[in-house]
Amino acid sequence: MRLTRTVRNTDKVIAAQVGMATEINKDAVREMGFAGEELETATPNDLIVALVSETEDALDAAEQAIKESLERPVLQKPGAKEPKTYATLAEAAALENAGIAAISVPGEYAAREARAALANGLHVFLFSDNVSLEDEVTLKKLGQEKGLFVMGPDCGTAVIGGLGLGFANKVKPGRIGIVAASGTGMQQVMAILDRLGQGISEAIGTGGRDLSKEVGGITTKMGLAFLETDPNTAVKVLVSKPPHPDVRDSLISMLDEGTKPAVVCFMGEEIEEAHKRHSGKVLFAGDLEEAAIIANQLAGGDSKGRLYSDDELSEMASPIAARGDGGGFFRGLYCGGTLCQETMTILSRMGIDIYSNVPWDRRLLLEDPEESCANACIDMGDDYFTRGKPHPMLEPGMRVPRYLAEARSNDVGILLFDVILGYGCHNNPAGVMAEAMKEALRIRKDMGQGLVQIAVLVGTTGDPQGLEEQEAILRDAGAIVLCSNRAAGDLVARIIKAQGGKRPC
Amino acid sequence: MKIHKDPFCLTVVQHGRRFDKILKCEETYRVHSVFDTAINLVSGSEFLTILPLGRRCGKNCATVAVSEGFSFFALDISPGDKVCMSHPFRLRLGEKTIAHFSCSSEWRSPLETIDCLPSVRNENMAVLESALALRCRDSVFGEATDLSLYGAGLRHGGTLDDIRRTLLDNDREGLEQALAKVIGLGPGLTPSGDDLVLGISLTRAVWGRPRERTSDIWESGVRKNLDRTCDLSAFFIREALEGSAHEVVESALACLLTSEPCETVDAVNSLMSVGASSGCDIGLGMYLALDWQRRYDWCSKGWS
């Protein structure tokens, strides 16, 4: 119908018929004066196009309009260069200026490739998971001997010499260096620093097990030592889950002995306790936002308090509480494991128990990761959910069925999710979640209930998805959008408390 | 971290019961056609459709989580491509695409709740009437949407009135002839005449559901004429005769029959947005069936 309308609107086209070749439509075409074998042998499953025009040119124009409507869009830009491929890592390593091998192969083969990279004098960015702890220790010790970094395994993000590896945000060059055992934790810090006008000198990922007793923080220590001597770095930031106590002490001593100021965020650690134990030059942050704000101040940026003040968060929470929309349990569905952990920490500090598939406290472990209970935060990037499926940062749609299932639950009042931007991530994560949000609102409307939907947007102004565009998509779909996960957790806590506080599972 | 760049994964959020056959490997399908926002699969005369989240679901549909504006053309799936299960929950479409069903829930029809003889509320009819008058002027049946005339459907060469009259007269042959003038008529992948018949058929099927009757001259008349149209459209009409259609269509009818006018407005507007003219033609079919029902108890006639 749309095609018929398009063609009929072409200048000097007198009559047009575009439809399936049913007998009735063929009669109409015959009435237009057409005849012939093609017409007679056409079946109802064929498309028939009949045009009558005043001039040949008009006929050509109409034909062209039809072709354009029917042809597929061109998927590959003409002239686009095919990426060069190499048969072996050694062949690629022989390239002039090659310095880092980014390895993303199944875990069982990853150690072998990493060894080959180190043997060829390359630093290693090991994106793969399922590498044994034994292999990790061996590789890192080998790298340490050769003066080469082994970032990973399971390393999600790094920015080395301005080059983003893994899920990396586009950041400005700057004076703050980061070492992080957490991909999304690093991304959150980089995104807030970008918002505060700061750039990054280097961002070195270590992999989540680097600060365990077995690995002993080999890559973290190499990274901090590198930042200490790096002329571009003025401030050091260290982000991790709480390390093994022995590793922690050696790291803090190392930072204390350095010449540059340092900020440490050991997620889940009580910072007052940390300050009591260390009165040196290391500053402790209780959350990722605070780590970025302190680093910004140390780097000479404008002194600024929280990104969202108490008053601003109260202003957001009050109307929700007044409408009664947030009545019911809170459910957080995260791509980023560290962000999930941070939310649990923040709410726990406010006296709200959060159940999870990755809880701090075994008491709060969900019996079934597929079924939430009470207030809950789910790490959808956890192995349980990604086994045989893409990570939700690559394919946010993996999270949508669970999101809609939570929306269908009439004891849920608040849904929170993260949207992570950067190279390597989905090209429109906000778009996918916006569709889910609209569907969730439709479901709730049918149920006669409201729903509070909060999005944590982690990205920089340079990210390829477009930070402003992604924010607008989420807002248009009805989300409260915050660029700090800490603030989102705080807002959730305020809404829960306004609705009467916690309830047991 | 897990990385699966290739093949591309579509996460299925909801699917209708008809997908069970393909998920249990009971039937072999192939890709029939690919559109910006729909992928049709075919096995003999049976069709299944994959749609993006905003386009809702249905008994023969699966809804996948992709962003608004995502084009299925980008998936490099072509008509004729094989469709097969590569894992208990993974449906492979061609070489490079997989639809994951492991997180999907079963779709429930909004018409399921209608289990007694419905009534036609004048306010809801007025909602549909004004939507048709506003948005359906381009339809092949545009003049029939001038519903202010006494007895809608009296125009269009009398064909629509023939349909109304022959059924009331229990004139099986006359009804078949009248339907032959409508089925396959007009532009579009589903010709306009087919959409109109779909709207009428679905309404009659829902009306006839509580009745213990076995034969319907409407159904037999329609089925006899289905070879006059394309396979996909014929399939949709067969489904409507059995009381099911896409969720947007079912929701509109369910609202017209059971809801308050304020709810009906949204559902009817969604219906009117289906295709270039399909929604309007289906809506007109519903309107005619319901209007004739009010005047002549039309949906209750023709059964034996």
Per-residue pLDDT of chain A (505 residues; tens, 9 = 90+): 667 777 777 788 888 888 888 888 888 888 888 988 989 999 988 888 888 888 888 888 888 888 877 765 444 444 445 567 787 887 888 776 778 999 988 778 899 999 999 999 999 999 988 899 999 999 999 999 999 999 999 999 999 988 899 999 999 999 999 999 988 999 999 999 999 999 999 999 999 999 999 999 999 999 999 999 999 999 999 999 889 999 999 999 999 999 999 999 998 887 777 666 666 779 999 999 999 999 999 999 987 789 999 999 999 998 887 877 768 899 999 998 999 999 999 999 999 999 999 998 889 999 999 999 999 999 998 888 887 677 899 888 889 999 999 999 999 999 999 999 999 898 899 999 999 999 999 999 888 899 999 999 999 999 999 999 999 999 999 999 999 999 999 999 999 988 775 454 4
**Are the C-beta atoms of A136 and A207 separated by less than 8 Å?**
yes
Residue B5's pLDDT band, with cuts at 50, 70 and 90, is: very low
CA A122 to chain centre: 28
Beta carbons of B184 and A72 less than 8 Å apart: no
CB atoms A394 and B69 under 8 Å: no
Chain A nearest-CA residue for B12: A401
Distance between B162 CA and the closest CA of chain A, angstroms: 17
Burial classification of residue B121, based on how many CB atoms lie within 10 Å of its CB (0-12 exposed, 13-18 middle, 19 or more buried): middle
Contacts with B67 from chain A: Cβ below 8 Å: 428, 430-432, 434-435
Residues A89-298, CATH architecture? 3-Layer(aba) Sandwich (3.40)
Name the minimum distance, in Å, from the CA of B60 to any CA of chain A: 19
Mean pLDDT over each residue of chain B, to the nearest integer: 86
What is the structure's pLDDT at A486? 96
Tell me, what amino acid is at A33?
G
Per-residue pLDDT, A504: 44
What integer pLDDT is reported at residue A274 of this predicted model? 67
What pLDDT, on a 0 to 100 scale, did the predictor assign at position B159?
A: 84
CA A204 from chain centre, in angstroms, equals: 18
Instruction: Count the residues in chain A.
Output: 505
CATH topology of domain A310-498: Rossmann fold (3.40.50)
**Contact (CB<8Å) A395/B64:** no
Residues 51-90 of A with CB under 8 A from B: 72-73, 75
Q: Which residues of A touch B103 (CB under 8 A)?
A: 398, 400-402
Q: Which amino acid makes up residue A383? A: D
Q: Which residues neighbour A491 within 8 Å (Cβ) at sequence distance 6 or greater?
A: A308, A313, A316, A317, A454, A480, A482
A89-298 against A310-498: fold identical? yes
pLDDT of the residue at A505: 44
Q: Which of A45, A72, A127 lies nearest to residue B73, judging by beta carbons? A: A72
Contacts of B4 in chain A (CB under 8 A): 389-390, 394
Side chain identity at residue A362, one-letter code: R
Of A249-253, B80-84, B185-189, minimum mean pLDDT range: B185-189
Helix, strand, or coil (residue A127): coil
**Sequence ranges of the domains in chain A:** 2-71, 89-298, 310-498
Residue B162: alpha-carbon gap to chain centroid = 23
Contacts of B191 in chain A (CB under 8 A): 19-20, 22, 24-25
Residue with tokens 């150690």: A111
Determine contact: B265 vs chain A, CB below 8 A.
no
Q: What's the order of all strands across the beta sheet hosting A123-126? A: A100-103, A123-126, A150-151
Q: What CA–CA distance (Å, rounded) separates A9 from A61?
A: 11
* Contact residues, chain A, for B13 at CB < 8 Å: 397, 400-401, 404, 439
- CA–CA separation, B182 and B159 (whole Å): 8
Q: Is A59 left (phi over 0), alpha (psi -120 to 50) or beta?
A: alpha
If one compares A149 and B88, the residue with the highest pLDDT of the two is: A149
CA nearest B6: which of A81, A183, A394, A386?
A: A394
Name the 3-class secondary structure at A124. Answer: strand
- In three-state secondary structure terms, B181 is coil
Q: What angle do CA B197, B201, B205 make, to 5 degrees?
A: 175
The verdict on a CB contact (< 8 Å) between A1 and B192 is: yes
Q: Nearest CA of chain B to the CA of A244: how many Å?
A: 23
Taking the C-alpha atoms of residue B237 and residue B245, their distance in angstroms, rounded to an integer, is 9
Q: Does A106 touch chain B (CB under 8 A)?
A: no
The reported pLDDT for the residue numbered A135 is: 95
Identity of residue A316: M
A435 and B5 in contact by Cβ < 8 A? no
Cβ within 8 Å of A, B 83-122: 87, 100, 102-105
Q: What is the mean pLDDT of residues B11-36?
A: 91
The DSSP bridge partners found for residue B100 are B11, B90
Q: What is the pLDDT of residues B194-244, one digit of tens each?
A: 999 999 999 999 988 766 667 889 999 999 999 999 999 999 999 999 999
Mapped onto helix, strand or coil, the DSSP state of residue B279 is helix
Question: Is the pLDDT score of B152 beyond 50?
Answer: no
Q: Which residues of A touch B187 (CB under 8 A)?
A: 1, 3-4, 17-19, 25
